[in-house]
Each structure stands twice: as C-alpha cells, then as structure tokens.
Structure 1
Amino acid sequence: MPRYGFIAIDDRGREYRAVDEAMSEAALEGRLRKAGHWVAKAWEIRPMLQKGGLFGGSIRVPTRPLTEFFLQLSMQLKAGIPVLTALSGEAGESPHPGLKRVVQDLSERVQSGQTLSEAMAAHPKAFPRVVVNLTKAGEASGNLAETCNRIRLYMEWQERIMADMRQALTYPAFVLVCALAFVFIVFTLLIPRFAKLLAELNVPLPLLTQIMMRTSDFFVHNWAGVLGGVAATWAGLHFGTRLSPGFALLVDRAKLKIPVIGGLWCMIGMARFAQNLGVMYGAGIALPEALGMVAGLTGNRVLEKSITELRQAVTEGRQMHSVMGSHPIFSKLVSQMIAVGETTGSLATALENVSDYYNEVLPRQIKRMFSLLEPLMIVGLVGFVGMVALSIFLPIVSLLNIR
C-alpha cells in the first residue's frame, strides 16, 4: 500500500506532520477529515526509495557525489539555512540522478517530521551506518554543520586511499595479465606443437623439457578441472568467511602474516580505525559507543576482535592506551600518542594526530610495496621465459650433437 507524508491541522488548530498508508491521497484526506483533521499538504513517498522496497532498497550512490552533497549541506547549514530548505535546494541541483532522487526522498521525509539521520537510515546503500550515526550525533549535539563537514573529510579520505590503491595496482595488474596470457599461450599452443615435433624426431629430452611438456599436457587435458578448482577455492573462501566467524578470523589472521602485504593490510586497518574513531569521537559520540561502531569498519576480524576487547575494557573504566599495550596489533607509537591524549585530557586531538600520521604514512607505504612488487613480477616473468627458451633450446642442441 502506498505511503504518504502529510502536513495536517487537527481539531484544535495545531499543525503537525506525519506519515501514513492509504490507497490514494483522496482516501487519506477522507480518513483524516472524518477524524476532524484538515490536510494542508500531502505527498507520496515513492516505494522504490523506501528501505526494503523495489530491488532490495535504496539507490547506491558513488562516493564523489556524496562528498559534494555533504560539502554543500555543511556550507548551507553554516550560513544558517534550515535543513529542509538546504535539502530542497540540493534536490533540484544535484547532477547525479541517483543522488537527486535520494535527496528528494530525504527532503520529503524531513518535511514529514523525521530527523535527517532517520531519513538517511532509509537509504543504507547510499549512506553507510557510520554516516547515519555521525549525523545522529551531530543532531544531538546541535552542531550538524560541523558534523557534515567531518563526514565530507572522511569520505574524501576514503576516496584518496582508494585512488592511491588503484594507481599503485595499475601497472602490476597489467604485468600480471600479460604474464598469465603468455603462460596460457606457452602451455596450450607452443609447447604441445614443439612436443609433437620432438616426438617425430625421436630426440632424447632433457629433464627441464620433460617437466615443461608434462606440465603443458596436464593443463591441456585438465584445464576445466584447474579452472573449477580455482573457482571452488574462491567460493569456499568467499562463503566460508561469511558463514563461519571462526574461519573468517583464521583467514584474516593468515592475511596479516603474509610477508610485506600483511603489514600493509594491518596498516590499512589501523588507518581506518584511527580515522573513523577520530571522526566519531570528534562529533560527540561517546568513546565506548564509537569503539563499538568502529570495530566493524576496519576490514579485518583480528583487528575487529582487538577493538571489541578494547571497548569492553574502556566500558569497565580502564584507559585505552593501557589496553592497547597488551595487543601487539596496535603499534607502540599509536599507544603512546593515545596515552598522551588521555593523560592531558585532549583525546580528540590525539586521535586526529594518529589519523594524520596514517594519512601521511599509508600512501607512501602503498607506493613502496608496489614499487617492490613490480620488479619481482618482471624478474619472475623473465625467469619463466628463460626456462621455456632453455627447454626448447636444449633438445635442439642435443639433436645437432647427434647429427
């Protein structure tokens, strides 16, 4: 049944806003009229944008348009423009069609009496839980404009980290694709033809050539099984980590132990922890509650488990830095910076300093890791090409010696 937001006047002359279901706008007005209420304005809340509506809920909006949305909203709120007026203006100006529809729905929901955070909660694909909670904290503290600016900075940070990752991955990904294509051509086309030629000439084969030919024969006759095994492994890891928390924890712990890459994963998780906690605590969310929300945003269950234990200790009255010292996943530098903040009563500033530290270090670490990975991949590819060339060259030399 359609849902309508409306502004009405009751039998005592008081104006109020509400949301109700009705077969049509006329049916809604008739029902309210019987109760002695007069409808001043009514509008349908479109089902497609309701939580759990068509296609599973709200519209997904990219990070960049959302960043621009929060920037404009922050500037308008700082200028003293009411939330509803600001939303109405942005609904007509947004260049992104998905965001435009979402903002229109936000405007209608706020007009019907919902708070901005409640309206955002109806669009989980557009506004993550952390954004909704930050907005709610900003509304409670009366500093929504500054909170919107913090959300904008948070989204810009996320976009910057992802851009650094994409830039660093571009060349290694290109080399990897070329290497896989070359391996496929060698084992499925080149070596089988060469093996047929050697069989006709009845040439004794060196060990390296035999290994290459047997590997090629295995891939040619079992390629479906190889692809199926890769797909089954991926599916097992993907669904296993979702269905079994224990297995997910085991996989994430193994990720952190991978040489070089494990350290980068840990640093990315710590950067998310510091950035999210700094934004939430700075927005006025209590530390235990902020830690509870941050735990699920790190992207690693090992770090999530440590943060959950940290939250429990803080709830019991212990200081955060003393608990961090007993968890090796938290670096000594971070623990010391948090300790200074807790001792001086400036924890918000300390969290900002930790966040700034990771903002400086993480991009350099990403570039450094992939700058080391690129030559290793090239050396590996050159080594493989050399082995293939040698496996072909050795039988030819043997054939010349026989003749």
Structure 2
Amino acid sequence: MRKFRYVSMNNEGEIVKGQWECNNIKELIEYLHEKKESLLFIDKDKLNFKKITFKQGIKNNELALFCKYFGIMLESGVPLLEITNINSLQFKKGKLYENNMYIAQALRRGEALHEAITNCPYKFPEFFINMVKVGEDSGNLGEVYNNLSTYYYKKSKLSKKLIEVAIYPTFVFVFSIFLAMILLTTVVPSMLDMILSMGGDLPLATKITLAVSFFLTNNFGYIVAFILATMVILKVLTKAGKVNFDFIRRKLPLVKEIFYKSSSYDFLYALYLLYHSGVNIVTSLEGAAQIISDSYIREQVLNSANYIREGSNLAEALMNVEIIDYSSLTMICLGEETGKLSEILSRLLMIIEDELRSKLEKLLQLLQPISILIVGIIVGSIVISILLPMFSLYSL
C-alpha cells in the first residue's frame, strides 16, 4: 500500500485536496469516482500548492510533447476533461503540470479550450492559442494538435542545430579573450621590468601591448562590472522592446542568409498550418505574421495581406517580402494556379528545411577554421609584441 496525495474536483466545481492509501493509481481513480470527484493532480510524495503566477513561456520541445498527447487522445475520441486527467499523470511537475491543472479547472468552469490556455500560468505562444481556436471552430482540434506537435518538434530541432552552430565559435572567441586577458594581466606585467631594462625605443606594437596590459591590470574589476551591467541593461531593454538588434541579422554576411531562410521556413510553416486548417488566406497571412520576430519583416507580411484584399494573388502579394525568394514564389504561384496550394506549401517546406540544414552544416564547417584563426591572431599578436624588443636587442 502506498499513500497518494491528490487534488480533485467535485460536481460543484470545488477543488478538493486529500490523500489516500491504495495499491496503485487505478484504485485511487475508482475511489474518487465513487465520491463523484474527478482527479486533477496526483503525487506519491509531496504536492506544493502554491499560488499560480504568470511566468515565462514554454520551450518548443515541451510544446511538441504537450500537443502530441492532446492530438493522439483527441483523435481517439477521448473527452477534453479526461485528457487533462490523463495528462496529470504524464506531467507531474513543471510548467506543463501547472498549465494542465489550470486548463482542467477552466474547462470545468465552462470556458472554451482556447480561452483556458490563454490564461495559463506559463504563457503559450499567441500563434499556438490561435491555432487551437481554429481547431475548435473547424471541429478538427485533434488534427490541429498533431500538426502543431510536428511544427514545434521541427522548430526545436532547428533551434538545437542553430545553437550547435553558434556554440563552437562562441566558445573559441570567449576562450581567446580569456587567454588574452591572462597574458595581458599576468605574463606581460611580469616581463615588464625586463622589457624596460633593455633600453632604447620600444616598438609601437610593444608600447600598445604594455598600455593595454597596464589599463587592464589597474581597472580589471571596473571592466568586468561594466560588461555585466551592459549585458543586463541590454537584455532588459531588448525584452521591453526598446532595443532591437534585428537589423544586424539582416545585414551580417554570414548570418543574413541563415536568418532569411529560417524566417521563411517559420513563416511558411505557420501559413501552411492555418490555410490547411481552413482559414482564409488573408487571415492566414496575418496569423502567420505573429511568429516573425523581426518587426520590419512582419510589417512586410501584414502589408501583403492588404495587397490580397485589393485583388492580388498570394504570389504577387509576397513579392515584397524579403524572406521569400524567387523559387518559393514560383512554387506558390503554381499552387494557386493548380488549386493545390496546401500541398505545394507542404512540399516547399521540405525543400527549405533541407536547404537550411545544408547551409547550417556549411556555416559550421566555415566557422571552425575562422575561429581558430582568430585565436591565433589574438594570442600571436601579444606574443610577438613581447618578443619584438628581444629581437631588436639581439640584432644590435
């Protein structure tokens, strides 16, 4: 026999907390059914009944898992309330645990599913909420959840690939800066007396190295504090929308192509999901624009919706959207002419995904030697500037 702590809801909508000794969860559910209560949460050890607060959002891999469970059970005919009960056994802690509890309570109060997920303690993406509403309105909620599961799973894989590409050069760059700091604050000062005792005019490179070393040695604490403060301020301002670095991603040679291809993939996937679910093309464009982080590109997409209202077709409307290339426009035009836009978008997404993965692999291969070269230049410059006075002395 084990003791289970649980949270349930009675027929009057009241939350009940309790504990019960039984052999397994099935016996606990049967016990609650006899009391005319529905199981919301269960824990074999200890439940923490904290007040729900609004916190940061949910990761793509978590969303993919959440949508997968919902989609499978909805297409199997399981009622929504029963799904939340089953999910309480799947997600025993964390963000999805608290959200699932709130959804169950909201559904019992008579709220629609999209209304319930809108007010969850951990925020769902606005695009996700709108897709759920589309699924409720069209009666294809199970299919929508399964499509969203695939969408967020692929976004998660793509994000991991982008992080993989960024990790190596970032690590090498930070390591080179760290190594340079050690050389300038420990090695160079220890050799300062020997260098100065050589007399004569020091080379310009050596003078610069000594000046930098002196500055870092005497102001190291202030420099670290300034860097940390700057990082915190930029993060706060960026989160508040007062600072935007999107224009950098649109201009940097190596980053621009990846950014455009990635944004194109996200946008067209969102457009496909909405249009495939029966949403008209104008509303689909406006909904797909929500997932674009770059405000400049997002405005271009919203303007394209206005062109369609004025009588343009989709391909013509998207011609002024920077992230959509000519080959994509050609396929979209073909889809409109044949009446198979949804199918064409699906195939186009597979092509873009393959291209994006290929570009990321090439970028990773390119960044590795460049990163090593940067380390060599930084460290080599310091070493050479120290050795130059010695070479001058030996040449006398």
Q: TM-score range by the shorter chain?
A: 0.7 to 0.9
Identity of aligned residues (%): 22
Tell me the alpha carbon deviations over residues 318-359 of structure 1, each in whole angstroms, 9 at most, x when there is no partner: 212112223444211111111111222222222222322221
> Does the 8 A contact of 2:99 with 2:121 survive in 1?
no
1:318 to 297, 312, 317: 312
Q: Which residue of 346, 350, 353 maps to 1:356?
A: 350
Alignment partners' CA distance in 2, 1:173 and 1:254: 17
Pair 1:200 & 2:194 matched: no
Specify the alignment match of 1:50 in structure 2: none
Q: 2:361 is matched with which residue: 367, 371, 375? A: 367
Query: What per-residue deviation string (whole Å, max 9, x for no partner) do you get for residues 255-287 of structure 1?
Result: 311111122122221111112111222222332
- Indicate the larger mover: 272-281 or 151-160: 272-281
CA distance in 2, matches of 1:305, 1:242: 19
Residues 278-312 of structure 1 show CA distances to partners (whole Å, capped at 9, x for unaligned) of: 12222223322222222231221221121111122
Residues 25-55 of structure 1 deviation map (CA, whole Å, 9 limit, x = unaligned): xxxxxxxxxxxxxxx9799x99xxxxxx957
Structure 2 residue aligned with 1:261, among 255, 263, 281? 255
Across the aligned residues of Structure 1 and Structure 2, the Cα RMSD in angstroms comes to 3.2
1:123-170: CA deviation from partner (whole Å, max 9, x where unpaired): 263522111111111111111111110110011011111121222233
Q: Equivalents in 2 of 1:180, 1:364: separation in Å?
A: 30
* Worse overlay, 90-99 or 271-280: 90-99
Measured in 2, the distance between the counterparts of 1:93 and 1:255 equals 39
Corresponding position: 1:138 with 2:135: yes
Amino acid across the alignment from 1:122:
N
Cα deviation 1:367-398 (Å, max 9, x = unaligned): 21122111111112112222222222221122
Q: 1:295 to 1:233 in 2, by over 3 A?
A: farther
Aligned to 2:320, the other structure's residue is in SS state coil
In 2, the alpha carbon distance for the partners of 1:215 and 1:381 equals 18
Work out whether residues 295 and 308 of structure 1, in 8 Å CA contact, stay in contact via their aligned partners in 2.
Answer: yes
Matched, 1:110 2:107: yes
1:85-164 to structure 2, matched below 5 A, reads 85-123=82-120, 125-164=122-161
Q: Could you tell me which residue of structure 2 aligns to residue 172 of structure 1?
A: 169
Structure 1: stretches of 5+ with no match in the other structure = 9-18, 25-39, 47-52
Taking structure 1 as reference, are residues 96 and 56 closer, same or farther at Cα in structure 2, changes over 3 Å only? closer
C-alpha contact (below 8 Å) 2:206/2:385 kept by paired residues:
yes
| Rounded Cα–Cα distance in structure 2 between residues aligned with 1:235 and 1:320 | 42
Output the amino acid matched with 2:112.
T
2:370 aligned partner: 376
Distance change (3 Å), C-alpha of 1:326 and 1:234: same
- Select the residue among 383, 388, 391 that pairs with 1:394: 388
Deviations 1:49-105 (A, max 9, x none): xxxx95742675444343223222222222222222222222223354442332233
Q: Is the 8 A contact 2:102 2:120 kept in 1?
A: no
Instruction: Say if 1:94 and 1:320 are closer, same or farther in 2 by CA, change over 3 A.
Output: same
Which residue matches 2:30? none
Aligned to 2:211: 214
Out of 51, 69, 90, the position equivalent to 1:72 is: 69
1:80 and 1:399 map into 2 onto residues whose CA distance is 87
Aligned length: 364
Q: Find the aligned partners of 1:282 and 1:385 in 2 and give their Cα distance.
A: 55
Instruction: Please list every run of 5 or more consecutive structure 2 residues that lacks an aligned counterpart in the other structure.
Output: 1-7, 17-34, 42-49
2-structure distance, mates of 1:330, 1:168: 23
Q: Normalising by structure 1, what TM-score? A: 0.79
C-alpha distance in structure 2 between counterparts of 1:59 and 1:399, whole Å: 62
Q: Is the 8 A contact 2:57 2:125 kept in 1?
A: no
Equivalent residues in 2 for 1:154-303 (5 A)? 154-223=151-220, 226-227=223-224, 230=227, 234=231, 238=235, 248=244, 251-303=245-297
Please tell me the residue identity of whatever aligns with 1:364. S
Judging changes above 3 Å, is the alpha-carbon distance between structure 1 residues 316 and 239 closer, same or farther for their aligned structure 2 residues?
farther
Q: Which moved more, 1:265-274 or 1:194-203?
A: 194-203
- Of structures 1 and 2, the one with the larger relative CO (CA 8 A, separation 6+) is 2
Distance 2:53 2:348 in 1: 38
**1:174 maps to amino acid:** F
CA contact (8 A) 1:204 1:398 kept: no
Does the C-alpha gap of structure 1 residues 128 and 240 become closer, same or farther in structure 2, counting only changes over 3 Å? Answer: closer
Q: Aligned partners of 2:348, 2:226: CA distance in 1, in Å?
A: 43
Distance 1:240 1:63, change over 3 A: closer
Mark the CA change 1:324 to 1:368 in structure 2 (over 3 Å): closer, same or farther. Answer: same
Is the contact made by 2:285 and 2:302 (CA closer than 8 Å) also made in structure 1?
yes
Counterpart of 1:380 in 2: which secondary structure?
Answer: helix
Looking at structure 2, the residues matched to 229 and 178 of structure 1 have their Cα atoms a distance apart, in angstroms, of 20
